[in-house]
Amino acid sequence: MRKKTPSLLAAVAGAVFLAGCAAQAPAPAPAPAARAEPVYQCNADGARFAVGQPLTPQLEAAARVRSGAGVVRALKPGEAVTMELNGGRLNLDVDARNRVTDVRCG
């Protein structure tokens, strides 16, 4: 039985040695960075040119860009609107003839 003990010890030692040399599993790849949403800050002065003009999609787009707003909301006379403040939104007040009467942020 003495002959089996050294070979058993050698086998266990070899297994431990090989386990230590085994390649480690690669670390998981980092998650891709989340895309940051742009932050818009409306400045109504940039859209003052629109006052008196008929409201068109082109005028809305130009007013949005020149004011730095992310979105535009056209407000018609007597129309119910939400009152939440949105610093990145341009409000265009229009009259019954669809002409811009005022520009403001919020």
Whether residue 87 lies inside any domain: the answer is: yes
Residue 17 token pair: 């040695």
Evaluated on CA atoms 48, 93, 60, 55, the torsion sign reads negative
Instruction: Give the range among 30-39, 49-58, 79-88, 89-98 with minimum mean pLDDT.
Output: 30-39
Rounded to two decimals, what is the model's pTM? 0.64
Q: Tell me the CATH number at 99.
A: 3.30.10.10
Whether residue 21 lies inside any domain: the answer is: no
Give the pLDDT mean for 29-53: 87
CA dihedral 9, 12, 16, 17 (to 10 degrees): 60
Q: What is the pLDDT of residues 42-79, one digit of tens each?
A: 999 999 999 999 999 999 999 999 999 999 999 999 99
Q: Which residues constitute the domain of residue 69?
A: 44-105
User: In 7-80, at which residue ranges do the beta strands (DSSP E only) sit?
Assistant: 71-75
Whether residue 97 lies inside any domain: the answer is: yes
Give the total number of structural domains in the chain: 1
- Whole-angstrom distance, CA of residue 18 vs CA of residue 20: 5
Residue 91 token pair: 């409000």
